[in-house]
């Protein structure tokens, strides 16, 4: 073990609100890893210089958040398949001259649904609302679970159709507009940014049945408007706090080769919201 702890951090702008340092500090304590994890504010036009500065200081890796996930994708010298598919990078690993780019958001979502909520996606009908960066980042890991089908619905249907063209070889995936959806789905995932402005994506109540899970990738102290709507129509609901913790666990695993337990970290974060 080196005398000084190995350094990691999360790069964003703004960054003061990030919960990642708390999450990784708890993972490190729990797994007895000799490391520290810091918040790093990078100027919006100087992401690459900031990363090279971290490498110069001996950092081993970093998480990447808004607005730098596309810059990180461009900067990486090699990309995992899931980062290529996502078109965005949320995890960097520094290895000599190499900058490895990964994306753990999708697997974080799938772990939260399949393991934590206990709802298998295999053979299920899955509806993904939205076709922006957040949606694109989760498609490959969802299809890897072999759902019966994945429907991507977006206000601008052409963007959903572009994603379908990109992922058609990976599973049964189709595009739709919101208005054409009237049958129930087993899992409905809100990947639109509508919840940020307390808006509801214009999805019909019939997509929710008594056995449906409505998952919002956003989280907050109160249920989002999407969760409230789904709940009124009989679905069970879950917000994206578990996805946040699970994507962190996957990054931690990539860096340290140890998988931390997530339940206590999730409970602590929930109690502090």
CA atoms in the 13 A half-sphere facing the CB of 186: 15
Are 144 and 158 spatial neighbours (Cβ–Cβ below 8 Å)? no
Three-state DSSP class for residue 186: coil
- Least distance (Å) from ligand ATR to the CB of residue 156? 3
| 203 belongs to the binding site for ligand ATR (CB under 6 A) | no
| 131 belongs to the binding site for ligand ATR (CB under 6 A) | yes
Largest CA distance in the chain: 61
Beta strands 35-41; 61-64: pairing state: unpaired
Beta strands 213-216; 187-190: pairing state: parallel
Instruction: Specify the residue, 101 or 130, whose C-beta has the smaller distance to ligand ATR.
Output: 130
Q: What is the dihedral of CA 220, 222, 228, 230, to 10 degrees?
A: 40
Residues annotated as catalytic are 69
Three-state DSSP class for residue 82: helix
Cα separation, 47 vs 31, in Å, equals: 31
| 199 belongs to the binding site for ligand ATR (CB under 6 A) | yes
| 19 belongs to the binding site for ligand ATR (CB under 6 A) | no
- Where do we find the tokens 């003061």? 16
| 154 belongs to the binding site for ligand ATR (CB under 6 A) | yes
Instruction: Specify the residue, 226 or 252, whose C-beta has the smaller distance to ligand ATR.
Output: 226
Instruction: Specify the residue, 135 or 235, whose C-beta has the smaller distance to ligand ATR.
Output: 135
Are 132 and 193 spatial neighbours (Cβ–Cβ below 8 Å)? yes
Span interacting with ligand ATR, options 90-98, 191-199, 237-245, 246-254, rule CB under 6 A = 191-199
- Least distance (Å) from ligand ATR to the CB of residue 193? 4
- Least distance (Å) from ligand ATR to the CB of residue 204? 13
Among 33, 63, 192, 212, binds ligand ATR (CB under 6 A): 192
| 152 belongs to the binding site for ligand ATR (CB under 6 A) | no
**Pick from 263, 223, 234: nearest CA to 111:** 263
DSSP class of residue 206 equals G
Report the side by side order of strands in the sheet with 6-12.
35-41, 6-12, 61-64, 91-95, 98-102, 78-79
Among 19, 52, 60, 155, binds ligand ATR (CB under 6 A): 155
Among 78, 156, 174, 264, binds ligand ATR (CB under 6 A): 156
| 72 belongs to the binding site for ligand ATR (CB under 6 A) | no
Among 84, 166, 193, 236, binds ligand ATR (CB under 6 A): 193
Q: How many amino acids of this chain bind ligand ATR (CB under 6 A)?
A: 15
Instruction: State the residues that interact with ligand ATR by CB under 6 A.
Output: 130-135, 154-156, 159, 192-194, 199, 201
């Amino acid at each position: 073990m080196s005398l000084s702890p190995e350094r990691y951090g999360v790069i964003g702008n703004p960054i003061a609100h990030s919960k990642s340092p708390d999450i990784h500090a708890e993972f490190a304590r729990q797994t007895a890893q000799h490391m520290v994890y810091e918040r790093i504010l990078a100027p919006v036009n100087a992401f690459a210089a900031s990363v090279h500065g971290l490498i110069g200081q001996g950092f081993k890796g970093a998480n990447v958040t808004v607005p730098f996930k596309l810059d990180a994708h461009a900067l990486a010298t090699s990309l995992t398949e899931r980062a290529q598919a996502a078109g965005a990078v949320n995890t960097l690993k520094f290895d000599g001259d190499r900058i490895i780019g990964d994306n753990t958001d999708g697997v974080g979502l799938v772990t939260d649904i399949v393991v934590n909520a206990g709802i298998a996606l295999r053979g299920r009908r899955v509806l993904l609302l939205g076709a922006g960066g957040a949606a694109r980042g989760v498609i490959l890991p969802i299809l890897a679970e072999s759902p019966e089908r994945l429907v991507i619905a977006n206000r601008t249907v052409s963007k959903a159709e572009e994603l379908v063209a990109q992922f058609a070889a990976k599973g049964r995936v189709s595009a739709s507009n919101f208005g054409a959806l009237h049958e129930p789905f087993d899992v409905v995932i809100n990947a639109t940014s509508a919840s940020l402005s307390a808006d509801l994506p214009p999805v019909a109540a019939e997509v929710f049945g008594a056995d449906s899970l409505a998952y919002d990738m956003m989280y907050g102290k109160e249920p989002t408007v999407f969760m409230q709507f789904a709940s009124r129509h009989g679905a069970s609901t879950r917000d994206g706090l578990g996805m946040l913790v699970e994507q962190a666990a996957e990054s931690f695993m990539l860096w340290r080769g140890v998988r931390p337990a997530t339940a206590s970290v999730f409970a602590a974060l929930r109690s502090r919201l």
